[in-house]
Amino acid sequence: MPSFPELSQPLGDGTVSVRFAAERDIPEVLIAYQDDSELHVRMGEDRPPTGAELGRRAEGFEADRLAGRGLTLTIVESGVDTCRGQIYVHRVDWDNGQADLAVWVAPGYRGRGLAQRGLAPVGPWLLSQAGLERVQLFTRPDNQPMLRAAVAAGFSLEGVLRGYHRSQRGRDDMAVLSLVRRDLGT
């Protein structure tokens, strides 16, 4: 089974970096869920995670990475190693060379380009270094900030999947954006 490679250094542009998530991120993650009462819904969770649940997830980060099951990355600003958001690599399908991404940014840091600057190096890294052929993300079609961030990071809007996702609200339409290896020109 393939695995995700080690990061020799954080991915980024000098203003925003992305590193492997760590247990030290838990307080900021809890605060983000507290400050945005809808974050768990957008992330496809039934309820916000508890500190204990986040601790158990953190204990499994390295094993998940090595087994190729998934990856949690933390978005930080230059000079500050404090979690401002995260990128989840999940639903990894090595047979088809694809994975889904999910992104969130803490409410107090939205509108600063952190999602776009976090996604911009992660997508190409997953395609060129991890060996995936396609990475995709889903968001509600009315989530304009996420749509703009993903497009600015090089993802292509493919369309809207009607009634694609079951949520607490019922069946939600989802916009799908993707980045494929040929987009890198390699």
pLDDT at 50: 93
* CATH code of the domain in which 143 resides: 3.40.630.30
Report the phi/psi class of residue 20: left, alpha or beta, with left for phi > 0 and alpha for psi in -120 to 50.
beta
Q: Is residue 75 part of a domain?
A: yes
Structure pTM? 0.93
**Residue 22: partners with Cβ closer than 8 Å, 6 or more residues away:** 58, 61, 74
Q: How many CA atoms lie within 13 A of 28 on its CB side?
A: 21
Q: How far apart are the first and last CA of the chain?
A: 24
What stretches of the chain adopt beta strand conformation (E)?
11-12, 16-20, 71-77, 85-93, 98-105, 134-139, 156-167, 170-180
pLDDT at 170: 77
Q: Is residue 29 part of a domain?
A: yes
Tokens 């983000």 belong to which residue?
32
pLDDT at 151: 97
CB burial of 123-134 (b: ≥16 within 10 Å; e: otherwise) equals bbbbbeebebeb
pLDDT digits (tens, 9 = 90+) for 7-65: 989 999 889 999 999 999 999 999 999 999 989 988 888 899 999 999 999 999 999 99
Total domains in the chain come to 1
pLDDT at 169: 73
Q: Is residue 6 part of a domain?
A: no
In angstroms, the CA 39 to CA 86 distance is 12
pLDDT at 186: 63
In angstroms, the CA 135 to CA 129 distance is 13
Q: Is residue 3 part of a domain?
A: no
pLDDT digits (tens, 9 = 90+) for 93-112: 999 999 999 999 999 999 99
Q: Is residue 1 part of a domain?
A: no
Q: Is residue 130 part of a domain?
A: yes
Q: Is residue 2 part of a domain?
A: no
pLDDT at 45: 87
Domain around 95:
11-184
pLDDT digits (tens, 9 = 90+) for 128-154: 999 999 999 999 999 999 999 999 999
